[in-house]
Structure formats: structure tokens, C-alpha cells
Amino acid sequence: MECEGVVRRSSIRAQEDLKSLLLILNLHVRCNCELSVFDFISRKISSIFSWVRGSGKVSQQELDKLYKQLEEALLEADVPYEVVTSFLTDLQKNIDVSTFAKTANPGSALIKQVHQRLLALLSGPAGSNEVPNFVIPSTILFLGLQGAGKTTTLAKLARYLKNQAKKRGKERKILCGSVDYYRPAAREQLKVLAAQVGMDYFEATSSNPVKAAAEISAHAKAKGYEYLLLDTAGRLHVSDDMIDELRSVVKVTDPKYKILVLDGMTGQESLAVARAFNTAVGFDGAVMSKCDSDARGGAALAFRAVLSKPIWFVGIGEKLDDLEGFVPDRMVSRLIGMGDLATLLEKADEVIDRGEQERVAHRMMGGDFSLQDFLEQIDMVNRVGALQTLARYLPGVSQFSPQMVEKGQQEMKRFRAIISSMTSKERMIPAILNGSRRKRIANGAGVTVQEVNQLIEKFEQSKQFVKMMRKSGAWRR
């Protein structure tokens, strides 16, 4: 069973296994996500691996076929030609068909190799490029072309910093300001977003970007803010006046972090933009925005190889929570169809109290799993996010259509309504659900008796699944 393999494969801690299981149990309604940047590559690459997975023998011809398919998939995903070529050369250097002949499971050994090479491509030779611990106090400057997503990303980062601090029981004093005197409504936009996030906004008296930057910076220092997030004006192209302005702003504010925001929808062009910014003003890390779009994602994949700089975050929507750390090993797992349970679990952790998770988990472990628990799980999943969003973190989702996801979402809604129409005794002891009770429940929930039966069936399947997981030892304590 797919889920079993996944939980075994991932080396996450027992408690986390438990959570993933809770989520997967609900999501076993099987669903798919909207097409996002990485899904495009993911679909391509994971379909290549469908024939490799579990392969008992790998011949040289099969290896050649794999290289060809990988090359096509990466090029189609808009990864620059030079990057694809060097990736494949590197991969071939590390793969030896005679070594594979001796391994017990050549299919998974091959996937492991590709996994490692993709990881090296994404992380670069220096290893991990995880999101930094933004030190206090610091000024964070946002750079990028017009419409790249600077202002939105600034607000998202403020929320991220606040959430990070909250996890440690702290609160951050954050100030934001804008030196965008280029687009009329730009500063107003930031002011509105600042109010939404709950950070302070400071409007400079000067309308000269450099003087305004100095004013905002001085205010942040005088008032003891821990972070100053400073927004700048974009232009349609990397122009001399923008670069001059940015250099002067950098000089007067001395930012600890310069974050380049790139529009994920522009494909390989964003690599050229990043190069130009890097030469002119330099930057420490990038954010690739609009990765929820149907762009192909090759630029993100090739970013590290081309720029030797990290992507710290990806923007996955317009809302302020739609910012996600760009963690290479998770990304690679997603790309080759192993899902990204770690990110999913983090999302769960943010909204579901650990005690609550443990309570449900404990009952399940003891084999005492009721419809009430099933309902609580559905509510937990709903709190973590819409199926459409969650599904992108799950293994093997590439085979499912958006219609199936929608169906999954509707099914969860229906299940919720049905369980809510049951008495607490019925929820605890589903065995008492005879024909007349099912009819009453169907009437109460506005569904057919057949739909009530479907729910009971699914619930029984979940119980079987839990039993199997416990027996297999994949679900550890």
C-alpha cells in the first residue's frame, strides 16, 4: 500500500508519523492538487520513476532510457540546457550498472542516486540552504522588478517572523516602511498589509527614496524595533536609475539581509534578472513568488546552480500565510513523487494543538478508534488547509485530477454532516447503526442511506489501515 511505504520511507519521529497518519487517513479519499510550479516537474519526474520503482534489475538500456527521459522532463520544465547537461553528466558519473546488478533492489538504489544528485543541484556544493534565523536586530531589504511580489512577500515574511517567535513564546517588534515613490498606491498597499499582520508602519516625511530610507531606519533604531522590513520600488526592467537608487538605499540603511523577490511565472528570465541584481547590488537569498501558478519551475530548480545563492522561500498564493520555506531535500522528495510529509506536518503543527493530536492518536493506537475520532480528524484536516493545497505534499498525487480532489473535498464535507447527525453513542459504537438508525441519520444530514453506508465503509477501511500499520511496525511509538 502506498501510504505504508511512505511512512516507512520517511525517517520522521514517531509523533510525526502519527500525525502524518492522521492526515493520510482522511486524505485516503485520494485527491489531487491544483497545478503548481513544482507539480509540473513532479508529474514528469515521478512518472519516469513509476517503471523504475521496485525494479528487480536495471540494464544499461534502461539506464539510457532513464537519462533520456530525465533530460526531456527537465528541459520541458524550463531548466536551462547547460544545467540539465551538467546534472546528467554528474548523475552518470555516479551510476554504474555493474554496481546496481549486485544490489538487492536496484530500482530504489537508482532512485536514491537521482535523489542525491537532485539534492546537490538544489542545495549547491555548500550543502543546505535552509531559511536563516534572521538575527535581531536587523534590517531586511526587499528588491525586485515591478510586480514581482516584493510588498506581498514583505508582509508574508513579517507574519513568518512573528509565528516563529510565537512558537518560542516570544513576540517580535517589527517595523515596516516603503521607499516606493515610483508607484502611487505602493505605500498605501504596504500600510494596509502591515495592519493585517499586526506590525508597525512608518511613513517618512521626505519623498526622496534615499532620504526616506534614512528616516525610516533612524526611526527603527530610535524606537528599538527588532526588525525593520524595508520595501523598495520596482521597475519593468533592471534599469540604471533603479540600481542607483538601490545602492544609495543600501548605503544609508546597511541591511543585514537583502532579499530578492522573483516572479516564478517568468521562467528562465528570472535567472537573468537575478544575475543582474546580483552584479549590481548583491543579495543574500531569494524568494520565488507565484509558485502556485502553472509556471514550470525549472528556474527554481536551476537557481542554485546558476547563481550560487539560495532560494529561501517560495510564494504559493496571494494570502499572507502563503509562504513556504524552500527546503531542498523536501523539494526533491516532492519532485520524485515521494511527497513532502515534513512540510505537511509543520503545517499541522501550526494549527493543531499537540495535546489534541496526541489524544486522538492514543485512542487509535489502543485500537479504540471511533467515528467521533474520525470526525475530529476531518476537522483537523480542514483546519490545516483545503485538500487542494494539502494534496500537493502527499506522495503519488500526480495521477489524480482536480475533479478527484474536488470530489474528496465534497466527501469530507458530507462525512462531517453525517457524523454530526449521529448520537454520541452511535459515534462511539458504530456497530449499533442498524437500518433504521442509518435512515434517520441520512434524513438528518440531508444525504441518502447509501452515502451513510459509504461513510461506514470508509471508516472500517481506516480501522483496517491502522491495524495494518500497527502490525507492520511502521507506526512506531
Ligand X SMILES: Nc1nc2c(ncn2[C@@H]2O[C@H](COP(=O)(O)OP(=O)(O)OP(=O)(O)O)[C@@H](O)[C@H]2O)c(=O)[nH]1
The binding site for Mg ion (CB under 5 A) comprises 150-151, 186
Q: What DSSP designation does 131 have? A: P
Residues numbered 303 to 332 that lie near ligand X (CB under 6 A) are 315-318, 322
Question: Using an 8 Å Cβ cutoff, are 280 and 306 in contact?
Answer: no
Q: Which is nearer to Mg ion, 151 or 357 (CB)?
A: 151
- What's the min distance (Å) between Cβ of 305 and ligand X? 23
Binding pattern for the stretch 180-219 against ligand X, x by CB under 6 A and - elsewhere: x--x--x---------------------------------
- Residue 298 binds: one of ligand X, Mg ion, none (C-beta under 5 to 8 A by kind): none
| Rg of the chain (C-alpha set) | 25
Return the closest-CA partner of residue 92 out of 128, 68, 56. 68
Q: Which is nearer to ligand X, 180 or 340 (CB)?
A: 180
CA dihedral 13, 18, 21, 23 (to 10 degrees): -100
Using CB under 6 A as the binding rule, whether residue 147 contacts ligand X is answered as yes
- What's the min distance (Å) between Cβ of 324 and ligand X? 9
Cα 85-88-89 angle, rounded to 5 deg: 85
Which residue of 10, 20, 46, 152 would you call a contact of ligand X, by CB under 6 A? 152
- What's the min distance (Å) between Cβ of 386 and ligand X? 15
Closest CB to ligand X belongs to which residue? 315
- Residue 267 binds: one of Mg ion, ligand X, none (C-beta under 5 to 8 A by kind): none
What is the distance between the alpha carbons of residues 243 and 266, in angstroms, rounded to a whole number?
21
Q: Which is nearer to Mg ion, 53 or 235 (CB)?
A: 235
β-strands 138-143, 257-263 pairing: parallel
- What's the min distance (Å) between Cβ of 300 and ligand X? 12
Sequence-distant (6+) residues with CB within 8 A of 112 are none
- Residue 209 binds: one of Mg ion, ligand X, none (C-beta under 5 to 8 A by kind): none
Cell triple for 357? 493530536
Sequence-distant (6+) residues with CB within 8 A of 23 are 344, 348, 377, 380, 381, 384, 390
- What's the min distance (Å) between Cβ of 35 and ligand X? 13
What is the distance between the alpha carbons of residues 334 and 314, in angstroms, rounded to a whole number?
14
Binding site for ligand X (CB under 6 A): 144, 146-152, 180, 183, 186, 234, 289-290, 292, 315-318, 322
